[in-house]
Every structure is written in C-alpha cells, then in structure tokens.
Amino acid sequence: MLLALVSFPSRLSLSQQQPCRSNYLPRCIIAFKDVRKPLNRITRPQILPSTFGDAFGFRVFVLSDLHTDYPENLKWDRFQHVFYVPGNHDLWCRWEQDHCLDSLEKLNKLLDACRGLGVETKPMAIEGLGIIPLFSWYHESFDREQDITGIRIPSLEMACKDFRACKWPQELSSRDTSLALYFDAMNEENEDKIKARALSREEDAILSKPPKIIGSDCLEVRIRSIHGTKGNASACHVFGHTHFCWDAMLDGIRYVQAPLAYPRERKRRMNGGETWLPFCIYSDGNFADRLSPCYWSDYYAANPRAPHNTELAPWVARFYNRL
C-alpha cells in the first residue's frame, strides 16, 4: 500500500512496485548477493523530518508499506486529499470475511471503497502538481542477474506469502508476466489524463514494489512514457514494498521510498524510527531536499554494484547452510 497525502506540479508518480531495472538497484532479498562487506560504511543517524513539515499552504506527504493490519499503523492524521495505490498485502484473500472469489474481485472492491470514501486512485492535478497513481505487479523475469547457488535458500513460494495468500484467475500467474501486464493495462484507462498532464508542462509525482518479487519492466516503461526517457529535473517517482528508505536519481528521475513498515521494525529503529513520517516531499511549488539517511541508496551511491559476486553478505550467510 502506498499513500500520497495532500494537506492543503513537477510530476509525481506513485506505484507499489519497484520500477527500475535491476542492474541499478540493490537485491533486497534474503541474500544481498552483490554485497560482501561494507566498503565505505554508512552510519544510521536519526532521519530528520522534511523542513517542509511545518510549512503552511499546499503540501504533499508520502508514505509506503502501511500494513494497516497493525493497529499502531492506523494512527494518522486527516488530509484534504488522499491518493492510494493498492499493494500486494491488500490483495491477500486469507480470511472468510473477505468474501472475495479472488484477488481481482478484492481489488475491485477496494477501488469501489476508495470511490465511496473520496480516496483518489486516478491522476489529478492540484495547484500545479500532477499526482499519477500507477497500478503494477512484479514478475520474476525482471531479475536477469545470476542466481545464488550452493546455499539452501527457501523457494519463492516459501519466502513470499503472496504465492499462497493471493488468488488469481486461471489465466493470470505470478510465475510469468501475465499479472504485470494485466495491472499495467489498468493504467491505460487513465492514459488521456496522463498525457494531458505531460503536455501541460507542470510538475508531476508518480506513485507506484524486489528482484524476482519486487520489480516490473512494464512499470519502468510506463514511468518513462510519462517523464520522458531521460527524465527531467522535476520528475519524481514514489514507490513502496521493500521497507527500506530510498532516495536516488536514476537516469533523470528521482525515486523515493518512505516506508512505515512493521511496528517491530520501527522499534529497532530501522529507517530511523517513525518520527520523520510521513515525509513531506512537496510544498508550495518545490520538492523537498533529499531524504537522508537512506542506508541502501547511500551505500550504492558510494560503492559500485557487483552482481556477478554471488557470495552471501556475512551478516546474512550465518543464517543459511551450504548444500
């Protein structure tokens, strides 16, 4: 789940999937296979709230990975506008009270509920800022790097509950690109609105989730169709899913993740706790300065990736046995 909260553009896009090509991003899975040891160690000081947080006027706050099945995560303020992108947990069909035939039916019920509550799930321009929610789902073929071998690592089905908790029609599967294509096609309905925002030359922020279960080539193409293949200074994409803070420029587009995550993660001060959330990314015509610190995007800004190195990181290897 990902939210953009408007308190009263630069183009802001939102998605629940991590959109970028995997050779640019860390492999946020059980094994960080391209990290053997920290080369330039980065400390984890307290993350400070955006300086825009106390400003007045039009502001946009972003937040991902809400996990509202935890009561602590429901204690948030009211906002004039709320933009929402469904996440993988939102489409789980685990309880009888869901009363859903499958995850697509649950998705449609969620979108109907949003319409009834006044929660936005379609593109909208507010005071010069275009906010563009994008539907997406991951696919395994997004990961084109060498697999880790010689280690007893659980299968995707064991590691990711989506394969058990989501229910799909027979023609859709998490093991190929059919789900990614289906969710991307949902964005076609809003194509005219998206093009209108692009032609207006206003600023945009796109809302949108890791290698085999975090990324989508379809989403990357969609984002580039909005912001341009080379991006621009006012292009920003907000995503969710991995529970790690992220703020980095990739090929001309700023990618931001500001996760609430699980209460237990905040208690051990992962991502600097929660006092800086939600993150005010935009205020009165300007995007906020870079979110900092972001451990993994900072790490890869200082250390080159080495995807050919499949040795487990030392802090991960101790949990796994060799075959």
Answer whether residue 242 is part of any domain: yes
Task: List all residues 6 or more positions away from 2 whose beta carbon is below 8 Å from its beta carbon.
Answer: 14, 15, 16, 62, 63, 64, 65, 66, 84, 85, 87, 207, 208, 238, 239, 240
Model pLDDT, residue 8: 47
Answer whether residue 228 is part of any domain: yes
Answer whether residue 50 is part of any domain: yes
Model pLDDT, residue 167: 94
Task: List all residues 6 or more positions away from 167 whose beta carbon is below 8 Å from its beta carbon.
Answer: 93, 100, 101, 102, 103
At residue 110 the predicted structure's pLDDT band, cuts being 50, 70 and 90, is very high
Answer whether residue 40 is part of any domain: yes
Answer whether residue 322 is part of any domain: no
pTM for the full model? 0.73
At residue 310 the predicted structure's pLDDT band, cuts being 50, 70 and 90, is confident
Answer whether residue 84 is part of any domain: yes
Q: Tokens representing 280?
A: 């005010």
Task: Answer whether 91's CB lies under 8 Å from 21's CB.
Answer: no
Per-residue model confidence as pLDDT tens digits over 3-61: 666 654 445 666 666 555 433 333 332 233 333 344 444 444 555 555 555 556 788 88
Question: Which is nearest to 194 in space by CA: 2, 32, 56, 11?
Answer: 11
> Does residue 140 carry a pLDDT above 60?
yes
Answer whether residue 125 is part of any domain: yes
Peptide linkage before 278 cis (omega within 30 of 0): yes
Task: List all residues 6 or more positions away from 281 whose beta carbon is below 8 Å from its beta carbon.
Answer: 12, 50, 52, 60, 61, 62, 205, 236, 238, 256, 258, 287, 288
Number of domains in the chain: 1
According to DSSP, residue 96 is labeled: G
The CA–CA distances, whole Å, from 295 to 14, 53, 61, 304 equal 22, 22, 21, 14
Question: Which is nearest to 250 in space by CA: 187, 301, 302, 195?
Answer: 301
Q: Which range marks the domain in which residue 55 is found? A: 2-317
Q: Which helix (H) or strand (E) holds 116?
A: helix 103-117
Between strands 246-250 and 235-238, the pairing is unpaired
Residue with tokens 């080369």: 39
Per-residue model confidence as pLDDT tens digits over 240-299: 888 888 888 889 999 998 888 788 877 776 666 667 778 888 888 888 887 767 878 888
